[in-house]
Amino acid sequence: MKKLTIALAGNPNAGKSSVFNVLTGSRQHVGNWPGKTVEKKEGHFQKDGYEITVIDLPGTYSLTAFSPEEVIARDFIIDEKPDVVVIILDSANLERNLYLAVQVLELGARGIAVLNMIDIADSRSIKINKEQLSKLVGIPVVTTVASKGEGISDLMDCIMNIANEVTK
Amino acid sequence: MKNQALLNKKPFEINYGQETETEINKLVKIINQTPTLKSLYPPRWLAIKLLESDEDIAQRLSAIPGSTELYTEAQASVESLKKILGDDVDILMADQRYRWINSLVKEVVMKPDQSILTNSDKIDKIVTNRFLGIPIFLIFMWIVFKLTADVSAPYLDWVEGVINGPIARWTTSFLGWIGLGDTWVVSLFMDGIIAGVGGVLVFVPVLMFLYIALAVLEDSGYMARAAFVMDRLMHALGLHGKSFLPMLVGFGCTVPAIYATRTLENKNDRILTGLLVPFMSCGARLPVYVLFASIFFPKNSGKVIFSMYLLGIVVAILLGVIFKRTLFKGKEQSAFVMELPPYRIPTLKGVWRHTWERTGAFVKKAWTIIMATSVILWFLMSIPTGGQGSFANTEIGNSVFASVSKAIAPAFKPLGFNSWEASGALVTGFVAKEVVISTMSQAYAAGEPDEEVEETPTFLEDLGEIVKSFAESTLDTIKSLPLIVGVNLLGEEEEAEPTALMDAIKESFEESSNGNGWLAALSYMVFVLIYTPCMVAIAAEWHELGAKWTWVSIFGQLFLAWLLSFIVFQGGILLGLG
C-alpha cells in the first residue's frame, strides 16, 4: 500500500484536534516527541489504496525558536518532510492565523489551507473569498466545520489529489 | 520521492524589500554551494532564519562542517542591514510578513463594521470586568462545588446500594457456586476487593458532576477568562499569570496539571508552578472531604468542603510568594500573552468526551492501582501478629497492618487523630487519595459483626431494583438542582442516615481527640489536602521537574501537612473551640 504522511499545523484553538479526530477516528496514538515533554499525537487512516499517517503538530502561533513547541513543529516539517501540511485556520480570526500559515509555506512545505469554524465567521457576517485566497497564496483552500464533520470530505479529496500528484 | 513534496510548482515567497532580498540571495548562493547545508534545509528559509538571528539554527549550524563562512557572512548581513534600515532585521521581516498578510486579508475577507461588538465582546465586558471579574469567578466555582456536593448525592446513594446489595450478593453466590464458599477467598472479595474498589466507585457520580461542570466551563471558553481574571491577582502576588491554568486543571487532577506546566516558557516558572499545583485540591481528595464533612458538619458540609479548596489556594499563593522571594529570587519572568477564545456553546458530545475521558481515567485507576492496593492491604490485614488468630481469620486490630499503623500513629497524636485506622489510611493514601476511604472502610468495617442476611432477592428482582432506584435518584437529582441557589425542593432535609463506617469514624475521632472530634476531623482533612496527592503525581513530578524537586515536594508537603494540621487542631483547642 502506498504511504502518505500529512501533518496538521495551526494556532491553539483553531480546531486542530477536531480535524485530527475526524480524520483519524479512533486510530490514534498519543506519546511524547523524542526527548521533549511535549505531547505528540499520531493517527492513521486508509483511503483509495493509501495508508495515511496524520501527525498533529503542537499548536503554535509562529515557527520561531522561542518555544520548544515551535521548534518541534518546524523540525518535523524540515526533517520528516511530510507530503502535505494541512494548515488549520480559525476563519473568524483569519489575519492572525495566517501568520503561522505564511511561515509553514516559507518552509517550502506543500500546504492545504483549511478555513475551519466557517460557521462562526458566517454568523459574524465575515465573508471569505476562498478562490481568491487560494489563487493569491498558491495552495488549495477548503472550508470546514470540523466539530460537526462538515467539509471533511472536501479536505479528504484535496489530500487525495495531492497524494496522486506526489506519488505519480 | 519524498523531497518532491517540498517542491511546490511555484514556491511561496514573501518579498522582504530590495535590501533584504539582496542579502537573502547572497546567503542562498553560499548555501547552494555547500551540499551539506543544501540537503538539510530549504536554502531560502535557512537564509531568512540566519538574518533573523534564530538561536536554534545558529546552534545547529555550529555542528555542521563548512558552515562557518555562511555564519560569518550572515552576521555581516545582519549588521549592514541594521545600519541601512535603522532597525533589527528580524523585527522588520516579521513586520513585512504582517503587512503581506494584511494586504492579503484586504483582498479576500469582507468584514462587517468593526465597531460592532461581537457577543463574546459583550460577555467579556462583564465577565472580565475589573471589579466584577473575581466575584463572578467565585460564583461559578461555588456552583461547581454545589453541583458536586449536593446534586450528585442521590446517585452516590444509588451506586452504594447497587454495590453493597446486588453486586455483593452476586459475588457471594458466584463464589459459593464455584465451590469457594466459606473460604478466605470470600473474605478477599468482600472485605478486600468489593469494600476497597466499591468504596471508591461510590464516588464516581461526584467526580462525574465535577468533570461535567469543568468541561462546560472549558468548552464554553470561560476557563480562559478565569485565568485572565486571576492573572491580575497572580501578578500582584509575584506569580506568573499562565501558572493559573495548570492550577485550575489541578482541581480536576494533579497529574495532568503537572503536565500542563509545560505551557510555561520559563523553566523556573515551570518548577515553581509544579511545586504549587499539588495544593490545588484534586477530585480524588473530594470524597474524603465529603465523607468527613457529612459526619462532622452535616449542616455545613458545603461550606467546609469549599473552605478546604480555599485553604489549598491560599497555601499555594503564600508559598509562591515565599519561593519567589527566596529560592527563585531574581529569576526573570517571561512576558505573558494570553488569547481569549470566543465563547462557544459547549456541545453535548464535547462535554461528554471530556467527562468520560477523566471519569474513565479515574475508574481505570480504581481498577488497577486501587485494586492492587486493596488486595495487598487485605493481605496485610489478614496476616495476624503475636500468635492471635489465623490467616484471614484474625481481628484486624491484631494484623500486620495494624502494627505498622500503630507504630506511626503517635506522630499524629498532636494532630488529634492517632487511631491506627486513621493513620493507616494516610499511609495508603500516599498511593492514591481514593484509597483513604477504602482503607477506612476495610479497617473499621472489618471490626463489625456481619449484618444479618435478609431474604435474598432473586437476580431479576435485583435488576429491577437497580433500574427503579436509578430512576428515583434521577428524580431526586432534578429536584435538588435548585439547591444551587439555596432553594430546597426535597422538603425537610433528611439527616442522611449515618452508615456504619460513618459511626465508626465519628467514634474513633472523638476518642482520639478527647471529645474534640470535629477539630480532629478538620485537622485530618487539612492533612489530606496538603500531603502528597498520589503515586502517579509523584511520577509526573519526577518526569517534569526532575528528582531533586520531586523530593523537595514530597518532604515539603509532609512537613507542611503536619504543621498546618497541628495549628488547626491545637489552635482550635487553645481558642476554646473544642
Number of separate domains in chain A: 1
For A18, the closest chain B residue by CA position comes to B350
Q: Are B71 and B63 in contact (CB under 8 A)?
A: no
Is the pLDDT higher at B244 or at B172?
A: B172
Give the pairing of strands A127-128 and A84-90.
Answer: unpaired
Instruction: Report, as an integer, the average pLDDT of A57-81.
Output: 89
**Closest partner residue to A94 among B2, B56, B109, by Cβ?**
B109
Instruction: Report, as an integer, the average pLDDT of B512-520.
Output: 86
- The domain that holds A31 is classified in CATH as 3.40.50.300
Residue B390 DSSP one-character state: B
Q: What is the pLDDT of residue B262?
A: 67
Q: How far apart are CA B38 and CA B33, in angstroms?
A: 8
Partners of residue B233 on adjacent β-strands: none
Long-range pairs, B255-260, Cβ under 8 A, ≥24? B255/B534, B255/B536, B255/B537, B255/B540, B257/B282, B258/B537, B258/B540, B258/B541, B258/B544, B258/B545, B259/A37, B259/B540, B259/B544
**pLDDT greater than 80 at residue B543:** no
Give the pairing of strands A127-128 and B109-110.
Answer: antiparallel
A64 with B54: Cβ contact below 8 A = yes
Is the pLDDT higher at B234 or at B50?
A: B50
For B545, the closest chain A residue by CA position comes to A37
Domains and CATH numbers, chain B: 2-108 (1.10.287.1770)
Question: Which triple of cell numbers denotes residue B249?
Answer: 486543571
B110 neighbourhood in chain A, CB within 8 Å: 126-129
Q: How far apart are CA B408 and CA B561, in angstroms?
A: 15
For chain B, what is the total number of helices (H) and then of strands (E)? 29, 1
φ, ψ of residue A89 to 5 degrees: the values are -120, 140
Residues 225-264 of B with CB under 8 A from A: 259, 262
For B337, the closest chain A residue by CA position comes to A61
φ, ψ of residue A56 to 5 degrees: the values are -90, 105
A132 with B543: Cβ contact below 8 A = no
Instruction: Report, as an integer, the average pLDDT of B119-126.
Output: 80
Report yes or no: B342 at the A interface, CB cutoff 8 Å: yes
Q: What is the pLDDT of residue B493?
A: 42
Give residue for cell 488468630: B389
- In terms of Cα–Cα distance, which of B225, B205, B79, B67 is closest to B141? B225
A105 neighbourhood in chain B, CB within 8 Å: 12
**pLDDT greater than 90 at residue B322:** no
Alpha carbons within 13 A on the beta-carbon side of B160: 14
Is the pLDDT higher at B183 or at B177?
A: B177
Q: How far apart are CA B296 and CA B520, in angstroms?
A: 10
CA dihedral B245, B250, B252, B255 (to 10 degrees): 110
CA dihedral B9, B14, B20, B24 (to 10 degrees): -30
A102 with B97: Cβ contact below 8 A = yes
Q: How far apart are CA A152 and CA A21, in angstroms?
A: 11
For B111, the closest chain A residue by CA position comes to A126
Give residue for cell 534564530: B54
What string of DSSP letters covers B100-124? Answer: HHHHHHHHHEE---TTSPPHHHHHH
Q: How far apart are CA B543 and CA B539, in angstroms?
A: 6
Question: Which triple of cell numbers denotes residue B86?
Answer: 535603522
Chain A with chain B: Cβ pairs closer than 8 A: 111
A128 with B108: Cβ contact below 8 A = yes
Least confident of B59-63, B116-120, B393-397, B472-476: B393-397
- How close B345 comes to chain A (CA, Å)? 11
Question: Which triple of cell numbers denotes residue A149?
Answer: 464533520
**pLDDT greater than 50 at residue B431:** yes
Q: Are B14 and B100 in contact (CB under 8 A)?
A: yes
**Length of chain A (residues):** 168
Residue A46 DSSP one-character state: E
**Which amino acid belongs to residue B369?**
I
Report yes or no: A160 at the B interface, CB cutoff 8 Å: no
A66 neighbourhood in chain B, CB within 8 Å: 265
Is the pLDDT higher at B327 or at B319?
A: B319
B339 with A110: Cβ contact below 8 A = no
Instruction: Report, as an integer, the average pLDDT of B77-93.
Output: 86
In B62-194, alpha helices (H): 68-85, 89-108, 119-127, 133-146, 153-162, 168-177, 184-187
**pLDDT greater than 60 at residue B95:** yes
Q: How far apart are CA B41 and CA A70, in angstroms?
A: 16
- How close B562 comes to chain A (CA, Å)? 33
A147 with B2: Cβ contact below 8 A = no
Under the banding of pLDDT at 50, 70 and 90, the label for residue A103 is very high
Report yes or no: B267 at the A interface, CB cutoff 8 Å: no
A82 neighbourhood in chain B, CB within 8 Å: 5
Partners of residue A113 on adjacent β-strands: A87, A141
Is the pLDDT higher at B192 or at B436?
A: B436
**pLDDT greater than 50 at residue B122:** yes
A94 neighbourhood in chain B, CB within 8 Å: 105, 109
Model confidence pLDDT, tens digit, residues B349-375: 878 887 887 778 767 766 776 677 778
Residues 36-75 of A with CB under 8 A from B: 37-38, 64-67, 71
B5 with A139: Cβ contact below 8 A = no
- How close B46 comes to chain A (CA, Å)? 9
**pLDDT greater than 70 at residue B490:** no
Q: What is the pLDDT of residue A88?
A: 96
Least confident of A130-134, A140-144, B46-50, B349-353: B349-353
All residues at 6 or more sequence positions from B400 whose CB lies less than 8 Å from its CB, including other chains? B380, B381, B383, B384, B385
B544 neighbourhood in chain A, CB within 8 Å: 37
Q: Are B371 and B196 in contact (CB under 8 A)?
A: yes
Report yes or no: A84 at the B interface, CB cutoff 8 Å: yes
All residues at 6 or more sequence positions from B371 whose CB lies less than 8 Å from its CB, including other chains? B193, B196, B197
Q: How far apart are CA B421 and CA B146, in angstroms?
A: 30
**Closest partner residue to B11 among A95, A108, A147, by Cβ?**
A108
A37 with B262: Cβ contact below 8 A = yes
Q: How far apart are CA B353 and CA A147, in angstroms?
A: 12
- How close A70 comes to chain B (CA, Å)? 11
- In terms of Cα–Cα distance, which of B145, B292, B142 is closest to B206? B145
Query: Could you give the C-alpha distances from B187 to B171, B287, B447, in angstroms and in order?
Result: 11, 25, 13
All residues at 6 or more sequence positions from B249 whose CB lies less than 8 Å from its CB, including other chains? B256, B257, B260
Q: How far apart are CA B337 and CA B323, in angstroms?
A: 23
Least confident of A85-94, A99-108, B345-354, B412-421: B345-354
Q: Are A36 and A69 in contact (CB under 8 A)?
A: no
B339 with A64: Cβ contact below 8 A = no
Q: What's the whole-number average pLDDT of chain A? A: 89
Widest CA span of chain A, in angstroms?
A: 45
- How close B3 comes to chain A (CA, Å)? 7
Give residue for cell 481469620: B393
Model confidence pLDDT, tens digit, residues B204-250: 777 788 778 878 887 788 877 877 777 767 766 666 666 776 787 78
**pLDDT greater than 70 at residue B148:** no
Under the banding of pLDDT at 50, 70 and 90, the label for residue A5 is very high
Classify residue A107 by burial, with Cβ atoms within 10 Å: 0-12, 13-18, 19+.
buried
Q: What is the pLDDT of residue B453?
A: 47
State what percent of residues in chain B have pLDDT above 70: 82
A81 neighbourhood in chain B, CB within 8 Å: 2-3, 5-6
**Closest partner residue to B342 among A92, A98, A107, by Cβ?**
A92
Question: Which triple of cell numbers denotes residue A156?
Answer: 479528504
List the Cα angle B260/B262/B266 in 5-degree steps.
Answer: 135
For chain A, what is the total number of helices (H) and then of strands (E)? 6, 8
Q: What is the span of the domain harbouring residue A155? A: 2-166
Question: Which triple of cell numbers denotes residue B293?
Answer: 464533612
Least confident of A79-83, A120-124, B493-497, B510-514: B493-497
**Which amino acid belongs to residue B555?**
F
Q: Are B408 and B422 in contact (CB under 8 A)?
A: no
Report yes or no: A133 at the B interface, CB cutoff 8 Å: yes
Q: What is the CA radius of gyration of chain A?
A: 15
**Which amino acid belongs to residue B575?**
L
- The total of other beta-carbon atoms located within 10 Å of residue B501's CB is 20
**Closest partner residue to A106 among B14, B56, B344, by Cβ?**
B14
Model confidence pLDDT, tens digit, residues B245-300: 678 778 877 876 777 676 666 777 788 889 999 999 887 888 889 889 988 988 88
- In terms of Cα–Cα distance, which of A155, A44, A162 is closest to A89? A155
A81 with B3: Cβ contact below 8 A = yes
Q: Which residue of B28, B57, B104 to mutate against A (max A Cβ within 10 Å)?
A: B104
